[in-house]
Amino acid sequence: MSDKNSGVTAETVKKIARLSRLHVEEDRLAHLADEMNGILAWIEQLAEVDVEGVEPMTSAVEMAAPMREDVITDGGVRDKILANAPKTEAGYFVVPRSVE
C-alpha cells in the first residue's frame, strides 16, 4: 500500500517524523505508511456517509446541560486562598521558573 500511487509513502512518513522531531527506525517507515493510508481510507469512507438533514449533536445521549444562576459571589477571599500556598509574593502564588 505504500507505493508511489498511494497517498502516504515511507518517504512521506520519514519527512513527517523529521518535522515532528520524532525518531523512526527505517524498517518501521513502510509499516507506518500502511497504517496512515488505512486511517486516510477510513476517513474517506466516513466522508461517503449521507448526513443530509442530520442535526449536529454534542452527545450520543440527549441531555440538558445544568445551568447555574449568574450571580455575584462574595469574592475578596484572596488572602484565605493564598494562606494555603507554600510561597506567595505581592498577592500572587510563587512557582518555580519553568523557562530559563
DSSP secondary structure string for all residues of 4-59:
TTSS--HHHHHHHHHHTT----GGGHHHHHHHHHHHHHHHHHHHTS--TTPPP-S-
| Residues 55-66 pLDDT 10s | 888 888 888 888
Tens digit of pLDDT for each residue in 44-98? 999 999 999 988 888 888 888 888 888 888 788 888 999 999 999 999 999 988 8
**Band of pLDDT at residue 2, cut at 50, 70 and 90:** very low
